[in-house]
Structure 1
Amino acid sequence: MDAQLKKIFHISSFLLTYPDRHWWEGLEDCKNEINTLDDHQDAKELFLQFFSQLEQIEPIKWIESYVYLIDFGRNTNFYLTHGNDGQQRERGMELLALKNLYSNAGFVVTDQELPDYVPLILEFLSCAQNDYVLPIIEKFKASFLQLEKQFIEKKHGYQLIFKIINLSIQKFEDD
C-alpha cells in the first residue's frame, strides 16, 4: 500500500473519533496533511468537502450528532461486529481473532476500545503490512460500504469519509 493511502486511512481514523477538545484542536494539522495528498485528488477533494460542511455546523451540534448516530445508532455505530448473528459468544470469538491479528502484526491494542471499532481498524490499516491489511479489508469491506450508505441516508458528513475509505480500499485492491 502506498504511503498516501496509509495517510488517508490515518486521517479518516482521526476524523471518525469522538469530537472532543483534542479532536477540534487537531483539525488544522489534519487539513495540512490532506493538502499533501497529491496522488489522490479524489480523496483530497472529498476531505475538503467534509471540512467545508464541518465549518457550517456549531461544534455542539456536531458532538450531539456523533453521540446520537455513533453511540446510539443501530445502523451507524462504529463497532463492526456488533450486529453479527446477535450472538455474544460468536462476537467474542471475532473480537479475539481481531485482537490476535493485530498482535501478530505488532499493533498494540489497548483496552480502551474494542478491536472492531472503525477508527481502530483504520489506524491499523494505516500502519500494517499488506499481508495483514488484506484480511481486514476482506472482512469489513461490506461493512464500510454499508456505513457509507447509512450516512448518505442520514445526510451526515461522515458519508464523505466513508466514501474516501471505500475509494481507498478499491485503490488498494486494484494495485
Structure 2
Amino acid sequence: MTTLSENELRSAHLVASVLLSYPDDALYGGRRTLAEAVAALPGGEVRTRLTAFLDHLGATAQSDLAAHYVATFDLKRRCCLYLTYYAHGDTRKRGAALVRFKHAFRAAGFELTDGELPDHLPVVCELLARGAVKQARRLLLENRAGLELLRKALEAEGSPYADVVIAVLATLPAASLRDQEAALRLAAQGPPAEEVGLEPFAVMEGHR
C-alpha cells in the first residue's frame, strides 16, 4: 500500500476514474492535466502505475485505445468493471448488492445521473475523489476479491488497464489471507449465471 494523504488519495482516484472510463476526446485533451496530477503524487506504486498508463495513452491513437477498451471491458466477461458481478453474476443477489452501493452514494450526498450502475469501478473511484473517502473505501474493500480478479484478468490479457487497477489496489491495505482465499474461490467458481432484470437499479437520478 502506498501511503498517501487524503488529498493525494482523492487525486489518485480521480485520475484512476478518468483513465478507467471510455477513452473519449476529453480524456485525450486532458492528458497534460492528468500527468501533472500524477507527478504531484509521492513516489511509489500508485504514481508508477498511473504514469505507465499515461505513457501508453500518449503513445496510442485514440481509436486504437477505444477499440481495446470495448474489446476488453464490453466483450470479455472476466474483465468486468462492475464490482458486484464477480460475486453475484446476473442474479437477484446482485440486485441487493447494488442497493448497498446506492445507499452508500446517498449517505455521502451523491446520486448518479447518467444511468451508470453504482458498482462501476470508475464511479466508485470518483465517489472517493469527491470526498466520500470512507464510503468508497468500504465499497472497494468489501469487493476486493472481485477487484483482484479484474487485475488478474487484465494482466492475463496484457492490457495496459491492469496498471490503473493495480494503482487503485495499491491505495488499499494489503490483502488479508481471507481476501486472498475469497479471490481464489471466485476464480474457481466463476460468477453465478441466473439471468434477471436489473433495470430497477440501472438509473439513479439526482446530481453529482
User: How many Å separate the matches in 2 of 1:86 and 1:143?
Assistant: 11
| Counterpart residue number, 1:28 | 32
| Counterpart residue number, 1:132 | 135
Matching residue's letter, 2:80:
N
Q: How does 1:12-23 map to 2 (within 5 A)?
A: 12-23=16-27
Q: Is the 8 A contact 1:47 1:160 kept in 2?
A: yes
Between the two proteins, the alignment pairs up a number of residues equal to 171
Structure 2 length normalisation: TM-score? 0.74
Q: Is the 8 A contact 1:75 1:147 kept in 2?
A: yes
Gaps of 5+ in 2: 177-208
Would you say 1:2 and 2:9 are equivalent positions? no
Cα–Cα, structure 1 residues 147 and 87, in superposed 2: closer, same or farther, change >3 Å?
A: closer
Shift in Å, 1:75: 0.6
Q: Is the 8 A contact 2:86 2:146 kept in 1?
A: no
Question: Could you report, residue by residue, the CA deviation over 1:69-124 in whole angstroms, capped at 9, with x for unpaired residues?
Answer: 11121011211222433453221111112101110111222242000111001111
Gaps of 5+ in 1: none
User: How many Å separate the matches in 1 of 2:104 and 2:111?
Assistant: 11
User: How many Å separate the matches in 2 of 1:127 and 1:83?
Assistant: 26
Q: How does 1:81-120 map to 2 (within 5 A)?
A: 81-120=84-123
Q: Is the 8 A contact 2:14 2:129 kept in 1?
A: yes
User: How many Å separate the matches in 2 of 1:83 and 1:149?
Assistant: 13
Matching residue's letter, 2:37:
E
Q: Secondary structure at the match of 1:24?
A: helix
User: How many Å separate the matches in 2 of 1:33 and 1:86?
Assistant: 35
Cα–Cα, structure 1 residues 62 and 129, in superposed 2: closer, same or farther, change >3 Å?
A: closer
User: How many Å separate the matches in 2 of 1:81 and 1:155?
Assistant: 23
Q: Is the 8 A contact 2:141 2:172 kept in 1?
A: no
**Identity among equivalent pairs (%):** 23
Structure 1 length normalisation: TM-score? 0.87
| Counterpart residue number, 1:44 | 47
User: How many Å separate the matches in 2 of 1:15 and 1:50?
Assistant: 8
User: How many Å separate the matches in 2 of 1:108 and 1:36?
Assistant: 29
Q: Specify which structure has the higher proportion of helix.
A: 1
